[in-house]
Amino acid sequence: MEHTVSLRIDGVDQEVSVDTRTTLLDALRERVGNTSPKKGCDHGQCGSCTVLLDGRRHLTCLALAVAYDGAEIVTASGLAGEGDDGELHPVQQAFLAHDGYQCGYCTPGQVCSAVGVIDEAKRGQPSHVTDDLEADIDLDDDEIRERMSGNLCRCGAYVGILDAVREAAAR
Amino acid sequence: MTARPFEARSMGTALDRVDGREKVTGRATYAVEHDADLDEAPLHAWLVTSTTASGRVLRVDAAEALAHPHVVTVLDHTNAPRLADTEDRELAVLQDDRIGFRGQIVAVVLAETSEAAREGARLVRVHQEAADASVSLDGAETYAPEEANGGFEAATDQGDFDAAWAAAPVQLEQTYSTPLEFNNPMEPHAATALWRDGSLTLWDSTQAVHGVASTLAPMLGISQDRVRVQAPYIGGGFGSKGLPHGPEMAVALAARWADGRPVKLAVTRQQMFGLTGYRTRTVSHLRIGAEPDGRITALEHAAVGQSSAVKEFVEQTAVPARMMYAASSLRTSHRVAALDVAVPSWMRAPGEMPGMFALEVAMDDLAEATGIDPIELRERNEPEVDPETGNPYNNRRLVECLHRGADLFGWQDRPAEPRATLDGDWWVGTGVASATYPASFAPGNTARIIALDGGRYEVSIGAVDLGTGSRTVLLQIAADALGVDPEAIDLALADTDLPMATVAGGSSGTSSWGTAIAQTAQQFRADHGEHPDPGVETTTTTDGYPSTDHALHSFGAVFAEARVHRLTGEVRVPRLLGVYSVGRVINPMTARSQLLGGLTMGLSAALFEDAYQDPRFGHVVTQDLASYHVAAHADVRDLQVEWLDDVDELATPMGSRGIGEIGIVGTSAAILNAASHATGVRVRDLPATPDVFSS
């Protein structure tokens, strides 16, 4: 059964016709034509499909599109300016500077996740490795590794990703 | 002409990846992301797989599926397009009723939407007749294959092993094993296919566009020039995308059926555990006879592995033992069992990874048995010439790697005895292992160079960048070979419309394609000079690179620190260091990432990766990323790589050797050796899960 949902995707309002079974990921990839979020597992296990959904990082493969009428979605593509010269988000610049990727397939999800992580830390949200739940969050290496662990990278670019997130967080 | 060594200007510098912007924005287009290139909305394909391990398909009941809205058709062995050649049973998809393993493709659903295709696949009823199946290596009958993967002899025998073993004052006899491991690239195997006017166009997630075309075309009964394969971006492969597998044929057949309408197929993560290759389980029986001073006099590596009855694959596990250490008598062999299971294939460093795991843990066993420091033991067994061929080594710098690593790692502070350091609740230890990988070179690569306006050049070769950085590194090679800046080169890759290139695999890609580019550039200059007219071009194909009577291999030393919890047995690896001798490093940034990636995969194999099979049906039940664990970010702590200053112009005109695989070699052994040093518990089977230490 088809439904229409209103989504603001990378700054553009769109009416998207979806099946009730359509995930947000498939809505973006197959119905909108935005393939920036990637499908690595379709089960919420790899993080490749991460976007910013109403400002927070979210797995789009575990979200049914019909449940998100009116949502604002920012993909890794939307974090950057348009075209070949559009300005990159500081997190994206840091991924380039520290070679925080190889094949690039998990990368858009890593980038969105990193943007979310930096914001979560600023807002004082603790993680599994936060010792003092009252104090401001110090986004140190252990915190970054822990918070980025929902995004798998089989090329093994974690060392570069850590360096990139650390640098972007310090800006 | 053959290529000559040439001056490094861009080579050796950390040129930024040329495709970085596309990757960090997600605008790079992978195999099923080419809708914009299609003139019609594609059909979506979904695979239906067998649930019996052996037997035949009696009937595929598609009625319910066909009644589902937007399902277009269901193809099975009775109505799928016929192939001209069905000898390769892995690729002869939907050609007959035979079932060779659980998880085999038995039907393909085509629908207007992916949701309908997926639901349609659920609704297909496959009536199957089950036959007796042999699915476990334990107790299975094995046979001696004619050869092992890579064309290696299956068995070798030098000197008199039995006599040397019998006479050896120190005898070590142990068994080491590695489990089923799955490549699991982040991009699932996938393709978009279009059959039009008797020709097939594929956007494929493959490490070899020409390899896919040359394999599929004769099976489809069409000439190879009627198959065009493109692979602009590949989301990893690690060998599983090196050879075409069943899904590529399935989507090709679906496209042939849909004649004129494109079809997209993305294999699910779960289906990848049955359809896209994996590393077989390996069991290595080692016998090492040595003098009390640690010098090896007799070495036997007898490897037992598992293959598939559908198609043979023999992991060359015992091959590295043929050249690694000096031993006057040396015997190696492979035996495999042909089981009714999914078809194994390449996974990063086939042979070297499991073989060096066994040998390098065995070296630690020998160090313990003789009371000799593990580094000193390896030094005492350095061969003067290649033990297998008798040829001199060029650039065998294993001992330098070991020494440099020992300095960087602080090896001298290591307690000689195991179980010597308890830090809180954690036993702490360190370990070392050697790494090696041959300098592979594939002849027959063709490159084309065309002069453009304004001093620019178009350089073309069908090579695939599977994510490692080939697109950047080949640009550097082309620039230096032509004597221009990288900005002056337009590089075209990954399309069968371009000159023939061999697979991105076996750590052979940069060596083989780079040599073709260098040879063509040198011929271009000879033909057209330094200031060519726009439009002139040169194309050459490599026969090889000047042959040498030297043995050409890369080497490395991996150092690990392991902490093992005294109560739970949890293992952590706070430090991992690899020091390598790999010839010239063409791009230090991409090379570092590739070596770090290899170490990470080795760490993952050491601690996590293990696929559990159903004993009745042989399929993998841990068939996703929640139950088949790969290293996550928090598992990876302080990883470092370094390399020796090297140029090996006997290997390639660039002075480089391949680096894609050596990072995973020896890494698991170093970690298990460290865990044994920490706890005093020797572990000879991968992975080292907590239960091993907590009993």
Alpha carbon of A40: minimum distance to chain B alpha carbons (Å)? 5
pLDDT, averaged across chain B:
97
Task: Say what the alpha-carbon torsion angle B132, B134, B135, B136 is, to the nearest 10 degrees.
Answer: 140
Alpha carbon of A119: minimum distance to chain B alpha carbons (Å)? 19
Residues 600-619 of B with CB under 8 A from A: 600-601, 604
Q: Which CATH architecture has domain A90-170?
A: Orthogonal Bundle (1.10)
pLDDT of residue B548: 84
- Nearest-CB residue to B467 (from A76, A102, A149): A102
Catalytic hit among B90, B187, B609, B661: B661
Q: In chain B, which residues have their Cβ closer than 8 Å to the Cβ of A76?
A: 24-26
pLDDT of residue A76: 98
Residue type, B180: L
Contact of B250 with B263, CB cutoff 8 Å: no
Per-residue pLDDT tens digits for B548-583: 899 999 999 999 999 999 999 999 999 999 999 999
Q: In chain A, which residues have their Cβ closer than 8 Å to the Cβ of B597?
A: 102, 155-157
Q: Return the percent helix, strand and coil in chain B, to nearest 5.
A: 25, 25, 45
The structure tokens listed for B606 are 């050491």
- Nearest-CB residue to A104 (from B28, B184, B238): B28
Strands B296-308 and B329-339: parallel
- Tell me the residue range of the domain where B528 lies: 20-27+443-541
- Count interface pairs A-B at CB distance under 8 A: 185
Q: In chain A, which residues have their Cβ closer than 8 Å to the Cβ of B28?
A: 104
* Contact yes or no for A156 and B636 at CB 8 A: yes
Residue B529 belongs to domain with CATH number: 3.30.365.10
| B186, B187, B470: best to mutate for the A interface, most A CBs within 10 A | B186
Structure confidence at residue A51 as a pLDDT band (50, 70, 90): very high
Q: Rounded CA gap, B666 and A157, in Å?
A: 19
Per-residue pLDDT tens digits for B162-190: 999 999 999 999 999 999 999 999 999 99
Q: Where do the CATH 1.10.150.120 domains begin and end in chain A? A: 90-170
Alpha carbon of B494: minimum distance to chain A alpha carbons (Å)? 14
* Contact yes or no for A103 and B466 at CB 8 A: yes
Q: What percent of chain B has pLDDT over 90?
A: 98
Q: In chain A, which residues have their Cβ closer than 8 Å to the Cβ of B468?
A: 102-103
Per-residue pLDDT tens digits for B626-640: 999 999 999 999 999
pLDDT of residue B695: 62
Per-residue pLDDT tens digits for B392-449: 999 899 999 999 999 999 999 999 999 999 999 999 999 999 999 999 999 999 999 9
pLDDT of residue A162: 98
B368 is catalytic: no
Which burial class, exposed, middle or buried, applies to B371 when counting CB atoms under 10 A from its CB (0-12, 13-18, 19+)? exposed
Secondary structure (3-state) at A109 = helix
Q: Rounded CA gap, B330 and B161, in Å?
A: 6
Look up the ipTM and state it: 0.98
* Contact yes or no for B184 and A33 at CB 8 A: no
Please report whether residue B499 resides in a domain: yes
Which chain A residue lies closest to B600 (C-alpha atoms)?
Answer: A156
Q: In chain B, which residues have their Cβ closer than 8 Å to the Cβ of A10?
A: none
* Contact yes or no for A157 and B597 at CB 8 A: yes
Helix (H) or strand (E) holding B23: helix B20-25
* Contact yes or no for B594 and A102 at CB 8 A: yes
pLDDT of residue B616: 95
* Contact yes or no for B236 and A155 at CB 8 A: yes
* Contact yes or no for B26 and A152 at CB 8 A: no
| Count of Cβ atoms closer than 10 Å to residue B615 Cβ | 9
Query: Which residues partner with B338 through β-bridges?
Result: B307
Secondary structure (3-state) at B562 = strand
Q: Where do the CATH 3.10.20.30 domains begin and end in chain A? A: 2-79
Residue type, A34: N
The structure tokens listed for B545 are 């690179």
Per-residue pLDDT tens digits for A15-35: 999 999 999 999 999 999 999
Strand order in the sheet with B537-541: B489-492, B457-460, B446-451, B537-541
Q: In chain B, which residues have their Cβ closer than 8 Å to the Cβ of A145?
A: 633-634, 636-637
Please report whether residue B265 resides in a domain: no
Which chain B residue lies closest to A164 (C-alpha atoms)?
Answer: B24
Nearest to B473 by CA among B507, B514, B524: B514
Alpha carbon of A95: minimum distance to chain B alpha carbons (Å)? 7
* Contact yes or no for A96 and B35 at CB 8 A: no
* Contact yes or no for A154 and B233 at CB 8 A: no
Domain count, chain B: 1
Fold for A2-79, please state it. Ubiquitin-like (UB roll) (3.10.20)
